[in-house]
Structure 1
Amino acid sequence: MSMTFSGQVALVTGAANGIGRATAQAFAAEGLKVVVSDVDAAGGEGTVQLIRDAGGDATFIRCNVTVDAEVKALVEGTVAAYGRLDYAFNNAGIEIEKGKLAEGSEAEFDAIMGVNVKGVWLCMKYQIPQMLAQGSAGAIVNTASVAGLGAAPKMSIYAASKHAVIGLTKSAAVEYAKKKIRVNAVCPAVIDTDMFRRAYEADPKKGEFAAAMHPVGRIGKVEEIAGAVLYLCSDAAGFTTGHSLAVDGGATAI
């Protein structure tokens, strides 16, 4: 089996930086046309420029994944730009917690669940009918987390949201398996992103702890998550659906 792609179209949300940007670049490097989406227009356009500078084909469409009409317009815009949608990486997500469960606020709960869960649900709600209408195989990968595979102290709402993403992923995978649409999730541990730097820049010791929590002795690279996403979208993973792939340096093996 090959991971070769040709003449196909990928949509990446949360693609203004970090894992989303790296994955959009990886899709483009494989010859796919890429729709880059984010609420951060400057970052999203920056991703598009990086892809174009490398000889790839990309378009930016701004979208707040918590708004039904905007997600619908995103999928419609993808088809208007490139004629179809073959792969989707629903990566947009946030984490804003800093305390234990009883210290959280309703505003935090609504914000995290809105982006991380409703956003993934809305994206699949509009991506799947488009893939079905094309009558060809499609693949969707959702960003969950190792926090969706177990406990995440002081990040209980975030953990709940990522458990929910895995539930949506598995349910959609079963519902559309016979329609040749595969749905999987990628579950990163701590990855070197802006989100990581915000969490640990004030206390270098926390960064050292983050590295030590992985048996490999370091945090992950965005390119390593991008590689996992491309694998799950490729024909090499043709018999894989409903799976939550931990890319975690061995963290969940402990």
Structure 2
Amino acid sequence: MTHNDTATTSIGLLAGKIIFITGASRGIGAAAAHLFAQEGASVVLAARSRDALDRIVTEIRDGGGTADAVTVDLAVPDSIRAGVTRVRELHGRLDGAFNNGGIMQQQAGPVDGATDADVDEQYAVNFRSHLIAMNAEFALMRESGGGAIVNTSSIGARRANPLLPVYGAMKRALNSVTESAAVSWAKDGVRVNGITPGGTATELMQEWDEASPGVIEASAASSPMGRLAEPREVAEAAAWLLSDRASMVTGAIVPVDGGAGA
């Protein structure tokens, strides 16, 4: 099978689960959409680009999977809540959520060069959106006895990030709220974990390399594996955390970086 194949020939890791994915129009989110459907989940895909979402939904349905799309702007709190409400309308419950949407810091450089616009945008999309989504997802999951949430953070949250300091700070804040939610919601049967991808071969990475030539080469060189991750490799980690096989895992921030952060 190629990474776009979504037919389920056996009981999958996520069989029967309803899973909501943000940032699903490209990169890791798109790879997750295909993978989760292949593993038996019914997926609801959220992003701003409806055309891209509709294309992925068609690919999944053509492969025998179940998928729907909802347009969501992560910078707008009510839009996020409406996305989760759409999951309720479609399926009546939510078993898993992969909060993967995010944006790169527009102006790379040291802390003293961070603009007000960058700070506001990074806060809104890379931190606040996840918190709002988590709260809405938790409320729906609790109604049906539990579920699992996975947040996409970054290797940039694990150490100093002098070129993307605001991005790294918001991702580190996301790690903290992920851990706090895990402790708070464990009694309700909702697990919350995060992943910290390293350099990954996504459109976002390509855009960063075009703005700052050499980023991809440096990222690959910093990995003991000597390469970038493929989006599906990152999605595989999220799939496991969302599955029942990770039933005792909550509050974990899992590196998916080829050893770059070791």
Displacement after TM superposition at 1:65 (Å): 2.1
- Contact 1:3-1:230 at 8 Å conserved across structures: no
Indicate whether 1:163 and 2:163 are aligned: no
| 1:149-201 Cα distance to aligned partner (Å, 9 max, x none) | 11112100000010011011000000011111000001000000001111114
From 131, 137, 142, the equivalent of 1:132 is 142
Aligned to 1:97: 107
Question: What's the counterpart of residue 187 of structure 1?
Answer: 196
**What is the identity percentage for the equivalent residue pairs of Structure 1 and Structure 2?**
36
Report what 1:122 is aligned to: 132
Paired residues in the alignment total 251
Deviations along 1:44-91, whole A, 9 cap, x unmatched? 222212211221111110011232221221111111112211000001
**2:13–2:240 Cα contact (<8 Å) kept:** no
Q: Which runs of 5+ in 1 are unaligned?
A: none
Superposition deviation, residue 99 in structure 1: 1.4
* Residues 1:77 and 2:74 are matched in the alignment: no
The whole-number CA distance in structure 2 between the counterparts of 1:117 and 1:8 is 26
How far did residue 4 of structure 1 move? 2.6
Offset, 1:235: 1.5
Query: Match of 1:111?
Result: 121
AA aligned to 1:103 is G
Which is further off, 233-242 or 14-23? 233-242
> RMSD over aligned Cα, in angstroms?
1.5
Partner SS for 2:261: helix
TM-score (norm 2): 0.92
TM-score by length of 1: 0.95
| CA distance in 2: counterparts of 1:202 and 1:61, whole angstroms | 30
Tell me how far 1:3 sits from its aligned partner: 6.5
Deviation at 1:206, TM superposition (A): 3.4
- 1:24 and 2:50 aligned: no
**Contact 2:43-2:66 within 8 A present in 1 as well:** yes
Q: State the distance in 1 between where 2:12 and 2:182 align.
A: 21
Q: How many angstroms does 1:5 deviate by?
A: 2.5
Which residue in 2 is equivalent to 1:11? 20
- SS at 1:185's partner residue? strand
Instruction: State the one-letter code of the partner of 1:36.
Output: L
* Partners of 2:16 and 2:25 in 1: CA distance: 23
CA deviation after TM superposition for structure 1 residue 204, in Å: 5.8
